[in-house]
Structure 1
Amino acid sequence: LLFSQFTSMLTLIEEELKKRKIAYALLTGQTRDRRTPVKEFQGGKVPLFLISLKAGGTGLNLTAADTVIHFDPWWNPAVENQ
């Protein structure tokens, strides 16, 4: 899982992943269908899940993750701990 508070940063990361042909799922506030990217990640279809901190929020149970990266940690630990 790779979290960022900035969707613009996720866009930059996406561009690099596309160049390197690395599959990923994406969840931001613009994502209308949250189930599909979650299923793709949980089912092993993609090895990387890019998530904006606000869109990820609470309610996601991503048990397939073995690594969590906070790309640009928030200054607010309570928000970051979500």
Structure 2
Amino acid sequence: MAPSLRLLPRLSRLLSGAPLPRHTLVRSAFYIRGNQNDQPNWLKVILALGTTAGLWAFLLQQHKEDILEYERRKGLE
């Protein structure tokens, strides 16, 4: 929906002179939870660190292959 169409009900209320509500109820997308640092989720920690290590290993291997390919093509000139 276009932004101007979303503002239409507010604009019509302002132009009609109807009183605006003083308090509007808003549902927050965020809520407060207890402190979860007391018991970390070790499965998520291991998965995150393992994924990071795997990606770095892949990156270094790919870099090594790229350097070898560069050296090979440079020698052909």
User: Shared fold by TM > 0.5?
Assistant: no
Whose strand fraction is larger, Structure 1's or Structure 2's? 1
TM-score under structure 1 length normalisation: 0.23
Whose helix fraction is larger, Structure 1's or Structure 2's? 2
Larger RCO (CA within 8 A; separation ≥ 6):
1
TM-score under structure 2 length normalisation: 0.24
